[in-house]
Chain A
Amino acid sequence: MKGTPLFHISKRAALPWYQSWGIRLAAIILALAVCALVTTLLTGVSPIGVYVTIIQGSFGTVRKFWVLLQELAILLCVSLAVTPAFKMRFWNIGGEGQVLIGGLATAACMFYLGNRLPGWLLIPVMILASLAAAGIWALIPAIFKAKWNTNETLFTLMMNYVAIQLVSYFCNVWDRKGSGIVGIINPNTQAGWFPVLAGREYLLNVIVVAVLTVALYAYLRYTKHGYELSVVGESERTARYVGIKVERVILRTMLLSGALCGVCGLLLVGGTDHTISTTTAGGRGFTAVMVSWLAKFNPIFMVLTSFLLAFLSRGSSQIAQNFGLNHSFGDILTGIILFFIIGSEFFINYRISFRTGGEKEGGSNA
């Protein structure tokens, strides 16, 4: 028929899990093909070589594998932290700042109390200080949201910059040489440094985050608090209708969200870096938003999504190193892959019907 539209888009009913994961898998394969094409065209390097390098970036040596695990654990930790807020539809984009404040509190404890308190007391004080500081940092936008319904996205976003400036200020205060960079704190006494388990520098972080993952999954899924925050997220009016104190739930959940970010700052400063700078969080507060969304706020799936992102980022660095390319080239590849993964969600939720001769399912990617 003349004038018939070529195709139209309609919403799908829920797909069985194997089909939706099939679409996602197809998207990744397609993304890798496009990456290969781009690589060959732009650099002349063989795409196979690039892929091998990406894999080597994470699995090439035992050391690299541990770095991957560390990256994964830290990214997962921030992602877990923002998830309860997201589940409540409170768009906490302030993970970056909350991690920094947690790290700053840790560093402050190490700096001022490091050589005054005994080790058995210092570490609990650091834990308490970092959790409290980051929790309170997250509580500020929550109070404004609960009392005056301010926009939490902007508020938490702007708090990031305040946090960065605060860290920058303390770096200058603590720096004895005037360069604005805090060196390793307590290099000789190692006061406030977390113990190294089984000779593996990152093992402690991995264990802590693994425990947090399971705990958060249980919290969201099986507790009254978790239930309340999902009701508030789905519909505030329903929450009020059954007598849930919405304001209290918002405050409580953001306190938790912030405190978990504090854990991340604590692990970074006390566990691995033993110093602090404005880049301690390294943009993970923002990457975490994507990790959490891609996993549909499910902590167990987040292990997969944060693995994917950590893996890609390690691979990118490796490419840059091996082929003498700019680090941006790795970012281009990561971008292409993410584009396809996020794009595949469209094909999971919608289908495209072509009009010419019966129905045809839309392919996995166009």
Chain B
Amino acid sequence: MEEKQAAVQLRDITKSFGPVKANDKVWLDIYRGEILALLGENGSGKTTLMNMLSGIYFPDEGQIYVDGREVVIRSPKDAFDLGIGMIHQHFKLVDVFSAAENIVLGLPEKGKLDLKAAGKRIREICDTYGFEVDPQQKVYDMSVSQKQQVEIVKVLYRGADILILDEPTAVLTPQETDKLFAVLRNMRDMGKAIVIITHKMHEVEDLSDRVAILRHGQFMGDMLTKDTNAQDMTNMMVGHSVTLNIDRPEPEDPKPRIEVKGLTVRSIDGILKLEDVSFTARSGEILGIAGISGSGQKELLESIAGLQNVEKGSISYIGDDGSREELIGKDPLTIADMGISLSFVPEDRLGMGLVGSMDLTDNMALRSYRRGKGPFLDRSFPRRRAEWVVSELSVSTPGVATPVRRLSGGNVQKVLVGREIASAPKVLLTAYAVRGLDIGASYTIYDMINLQKEKGVAVIYVGEDLDVLLELSDRILVLCGGKVSGIVDGRSTTKREVGMMMTRLGGGKSE
């Protein structure tokens, strides 16, 4: 790279949270006219580092230079004054306000609020970079990708020319991702410095000019993207070599296990969440569920698990001997009492699947505490089970008496999945089982799910990463706005086809 002045230089940045060093003497250079991918596993300190640059955290040690000048960033306002803007994973928009109102919110402009002028400037920004934002549109009417665009425009409106995006594609469809990348390339070509935090390898290869890698809070090095490849980057990120393949054994003797017919679900406010959904999940098979987030995935799994009020339809459990049991109208306890072993790994691990402040033993007890007669709780059985999960899934924890909240995301998920498969289920429902997990932990989870499939479990796997869904699933059911957009064969379909079906019923044109 030719000699040029870095827009931002981070030197020896250190930040600790209690005994954990989230960042340890990190060096990083960010240049204008370049897209930098900040790559690292979960807990490697990517977001922490960028939060210090955008004024959310304050570093314990180290210096930050902007355009060669040492600066102190105490608050997000300081960061904005230096032209640094961050787009967070969770949007911070006021739902009942329009795009323009959200964008000007909090700006210390004198005189009265001139939304017209603001609208004009917003349109200019949109035209320059290729955004599609309507200043008058209310945020509650927007899709996730539109909200994200508003967030980016908000930052640009404030004059940022160093943009940081924290996992911007986590919530987007493949088509929306392509659009976002085009906009980011435009901004780069106009001389902005862009940092994107991610752990998706193909995005790094697709988009970035340079990649910087963090591992356990330490800076492992940076390189030009064109000089490296996915395997090398992964090895650097993880610290040892990892095979990037997901097994997909052939299903053995699949038999119908769960039959859903005409399932219709409304939320408490009467909004239609699922409409006339029908499908069959078979034993020894992984049925993937794809769809934009909020297309009814949660309601579908919760209906099967007995946690959702259903308006219409039927869900039958078909036993080994062909007997049928209706699951609708039964709560989880009744379903278990009927002798149906149904396990559910919900999306919200610490808010639903586990209790964060309780230790491993007590979390195992969630499923087994009713065992035994008498008023007293038997803790020896869940303790043995916790010990089994810890050793079987190599959960890294000081012991079974540690509150699960203290564990890392990957280990929390291992505890949850471990508990759910420990009861030898017939049906396994998983929602976003690898969300937020690093590569190593994700592959452990895929292996665990495959093992269940080989044992003859009917697995329903709700996922968001299409690459993984396509590699893991035997069949994929695509949801679009609460309806079944289609069920395709996982071995023969393409990402593009599934992506089209996610946004339009049946995939649009040819139906």
Contact = CB atoms under 8 A, between A and B. Distances in A.
Contacts of B352: 235, 237-238, 241
Interface string B335-369: 01000000010101001111111100010011101
Nearest to A15: B18
B355 A238 contact: yes
Q: On chain A, which size bracket covers the interface?
A: 20 to 34
A35 to B, nearest CB: 34
30 contacts: A1-B70, A10-B17, A11-B18, A12-B18, A13-B20, A222-B376, A223-B377, A224-B370, A224-B376, A225-B375, A226-B377, A227-B362, A227-B365, A230-B355, A231-B355, A234-B357, A237-B352, A238-B351, A238-B353, A238-B354, A238-B355, A240-B307, A240-B332, A241-B305, A241-B344, A241-B352, A243-B333, A243-B336, A353-B60, A359-B60
Nearest to B362: A227
Interface in A229-278: 230-231, 234-235, 237-238, 240-243
Contacts of A5: 58, 74
Contacts of A227: 362, 365, 369, 377
Given A235-B355, A242-B367, 4 more contacts: A231-B366, A235-B351, A240-B307, A353-B60
A4 B72 contact: yes
Contact of B369 (A2, A12, A224): A224
Interface string B27-62: 000000000000000000000000000000010100
Main secondary structure, interface of A, reads mixed
B465 interface: no
Nearest to A242: B366
B19 interface: yes
B70 to A, nearest CB: 8
A242 B354 contact: no
B447 interface: no
A8 interface: yes
B17 A11 contact: yes
B331 A13 contact: no
A324 interface: no
Contacts of A231: 355, 358, 366
A3 interface: yes
Given A5-B74, A223-B377, A237 B351 contact: yes
Contact of B375 (A8, A10, A224): A224
A240 to B, nearest CB: 6
Given A12-B18, A224-B375, A237 B348 contact: yes
Interface of B: 17-20, 58, 60, 70, 72, 74, 305-307, 331-334, 336, 344, 346, 348, 351-358, 362, 365-367, 369-370, 375-377
Per CB-CB distance, the 10 closest pairs between chain A and chain B, nearest first, are A13-B18, A243-B333, A243-B332, A234-B355, A237-B352, A3-B72, A242-B366, A223-B375, A241-B352, A227-B377
Nearest to B355: A234
Contacts of B336: 243
Nearest to B378: A224
A358 B18 CA distance: 16
Nearest to B63: A1
A13 B19 contact: yes
A26 B369 CA distance: 42
Contacts of A11: 17-18
Interface string A105-117: 0000000000000
A243 B60 CA distance: 46
Contacts of A235: 351-352, 355
Interface in A1-60: 1-5, 8, 10-13
Interface string A213-230: 000000000111111101
A347 to B, nearest CB: 15
B342 to A, nearest CB: 11
| Residue from A1, A11, A12, A227 having most chain B Cβ neighbours under 10 A | A227
Contacts of B376: 222-224
Contacts of B355: 230-231, 234-235, 238
A128 B331 CA distance: 36
Contacts of A13: 17-20
A230 B366 CA distance: 11
B366 A238 contact: yes
B34 to A, nearest CB: 28
B488 to A, nearest CB: 31
B361 to A, nearest CB: 11
